[in-house]
Amino acid sequence: MTPVVDDAQLLASARRALGIEARAIEALGPKLTGSFAAACRICLGCHGRVVVTGMGKSGHIAGKIAATLASTGTPAFFLHPAEAGHGDLGMITRSDVLLALSNSGETPELVLLLPHLKRLAVPLIVMTGKPDSTLGRAAAVMLDVGVPEEACPLNLAPTASTTATLAMGDALAVAVLEARGFTRQDFARSHPGGTLGRRLLLHVEDLMRSGESVPRVAPDASLAAGLLEMSRKGLGMTVVVGSEDRILGVFTDGDLRRSLDKQIDVHQTLMNEVMTAPGKRIGPRELAAEAVHLMELHRITALPVADAHGRLLGALNIHDLMRAGVV
């Protein structure tokens, strides 16, 4: 029979668990000593991969740490220690580093790896809650991730201990990526399929419309002609250009509304009388994300693309950016 528990009890349990885990992470601060810096230097000096391993819940955390390292400039992968003794030890080479996670420091599958690591002279970094354990003593660098209690009310299920280990792994990855000078562009190259990758890798020239698709009129064209050009090209604006296609200004839907409020004659009024000059524009090699920023900042929905001399090269609008997944 399912016990009857009210909402207050459930919320109290959740707050207790979060409090314990928050204190476990906070307690890591004083443990960041020279050993942590040494672990960072080992990772920075690694010419191979950082092999991250752990059993059970520690194994799940190890997989995440390996993924974080790999995506932030440090080649890494997860090695299941139970498979290591059945052929997967061959994944470890002399140029690698092993990062082992074990709360007890006595995980048999990890202890069995020690002779092999010694033969290869592979540096061993250990994250453990028991510094004086077998793994802790064997490590080139030991990082203490011990916690006074688990969030589990039985003090059995790995909860606060795995949270602390994950946080220490994140701290290691962040410190190493900053030391490498890892940039947003580097991150994007590791994530070409993600939204951030698209924002950081796509340039305006990759998305802009060009040639006959770009709306343009002369400054002495009538407003009626400008409206027809806007309608034909469907960008919500037209560019007003002079000789050699140099941009003089832009005319947008907003300019149209303001012009109609003045009850002007669309056949007699010239484009240079109603355009916004010089208007906003963007370069072809700017990131597409910068085009989004300009549109949001100035509350506009389209931009002409110009070269360094102000000549019209293309145009794009918010819908082009949305279709590309930049917005």
Residues 185-233: pLDDT tens digits? 666 666 555 556 666 677 888 888 988 899 999 999 988 888 898 888 8
- What is the number of other CB atoms lying within 10 angstroms of the CB of residue 227? 17
Average pLDDT, the chain: 89
Determine whether 7 is exposed, middle or buried from the number of CB atoms within 10 Å of its CB (0-12, 13-18, 19+).
Answer: exposed
Q: Which domains does the chain have, with CATH numbers?
A: 7-182 (3.40.50.10490), 204-323 (3.10.580.10)
pLDDT digits (tens, 9 = 90+) for 18-35: 999 999 999 999 999 999
Between 16 and 181, residue with greater pLDDT: 16
Using CA atoms, how far residue 123 sits from 32, 43, 49, 179, 248, in Å, is 20, 10, 11, 20, 64
Place of tokens 């950016």: 321
Task: Give the torsion sign (CA, 67, 68, 71, 76).
Answer: negative
pLDDT digits (tens, 9 = 90+) for 224-279: 888 898 888 888 889 999 988 899 999 988 888 888 777 788 888 898 888 888 88
Query: Quick check: 57 pLDDT over 70?
Result: yes
Interacting residues of 311 by C-beta distance below 8 A, sequence separation 6+: 244, 245, 246, 247
Place of tokens 């700017």: 286
What the block records as the tokens of 94 is 């002399």
Please state which of the ranges 41-55, 112-126, 198-212, 296-310 shows the lowest mean pLDDT: 198-212
pLDDT digits (tens, 9 = 90+) for 140-169: 999 999 999 999 888 888 999 999 999 999
pLDDT digits (tens, 9 = 90+) for 109-128: 999 999 999 999 999 999 99
